[in-house]
Amino acid sequence: MEDLAANLERVREQIARAATKIGRDVDEIELVAISKTHPAERVREAHEAGQSLFGESRVQEARVKIPELPSAIHWHFVGHLQKNKIRHALPLFEMIHSVDSLVLAQEINRIAEEEGLHPRVLLEVNVAGEGSKFGFKPETLRAEMELLLALPRLTIEGLMTIPPLAEEAEASRKFFVQLRDLRDALEKQFDVTLPHLSMGMTNDFPVAVEEGATLVRVGTAIFGERMRPKRG
């Protein structure tokens, strides 16, 4: 069994080293510990080891897990959000990293209005244009940004991406650069600030930090391998 405290310390060290390497202030970077599939007990251990921000990717799982844990823990949602889960998700999560279409954004806005909430969100971008992935295509996001920014209940704080699966961390670099460039272009074109870039997972988070990540989403390097769901 891995030592969660040691894993967390190693990940934080790697973040600090990557930040120092390019002259960034390490305080600009927040570690989101992705606890999906791992039981509440493991989250509690990580919390006791000093980690206070966690991420989940399934509303069903989070609805069971979050109420079992101390209310001092902060939660972000990072998975594909189904429309029929929005109402449950909004009160549980401080930020949704994965708003992946205009229709979803409009639906979140409508439900947030009914519930009297102002959710903080990131827009997920499919920078590599992979057919199988959720997320705005960069050109679609440019075309729809005006409509997104007009949704009164949403506070859009930045962009998120999941690059194509690769063995080498360096393979992700160009996608992280593309996300940052897109963010910079949107800020200019629409005269807004989009401070957050959510990018980097276990395989590539030091590269993401070098390219400007403010939120890194790390699961396996902290909690170990996830169990695969049983089949049939």
Ligand X SMILES: *Cc1c(COP(=O)(O)O)cnc(C)c1O
Binding site for ligand X (CB under 6 A): 34, 36, 57, 78-79, 162, 201-202, 217-220
Q: How far is the CB of 47 from ligand X (least distance, A)?
A: 18
Rounded CA-CA distance 87/89 in Å is 6
Minimum CB distance to ligand X, residue 121 (Å)? 14
> Please, are residues 116 and 123 in contact by the beta-carbon 8 Å criterion?
no
Cα dist. 59→10, 133, 217 in Å?
29, 19, 17
Considering beta carbons, is residue 77 or 141 the nearer one to ligand X? 77
Q: How many residues does the chain have?
A: 232
- The kind and range of the H/E element at 155 are strand 155-160
Please report how close the Cβ of residue 108 comes to ligand X at its closest, in angstroms: 17
Residue 76: CB minimum distance to ligand X, A: 10
Q: Which is nearer to ligand X, 47 or 217 (CB)?
A: 217
Please identify, using beta-carbon distances, which residue of 109 and 203 lies nearer to ligand X: 203
Cβ-closest position to ligand X: 219
Q: How far is the CB of 96 from ligand X (least distance, A)?
A: 11
For residue 172, what is the DSSP state?
G
Residue showing tokens 């919390």: 47
Closest CA to 93 of 19, 224, 115: 115
Please say which residue, 148 or 162, places its beta carbon nearer to ligand X.
162
Question: Of 61 and 144, which has the nearer Cβ to ligand X?
Answer: 61
Rg (CA), the chain: 17
**How would you class 68 by CB atoms within 10 Å of its CB: exposed for 0-12, middle for 13-18, buried for 19 or more?**
exposed
Select 150 or 227, whichever has its Cβ closest to ligand X. Answer: 227
**Least CB distance to ligand X at residue 191 (A):** 29
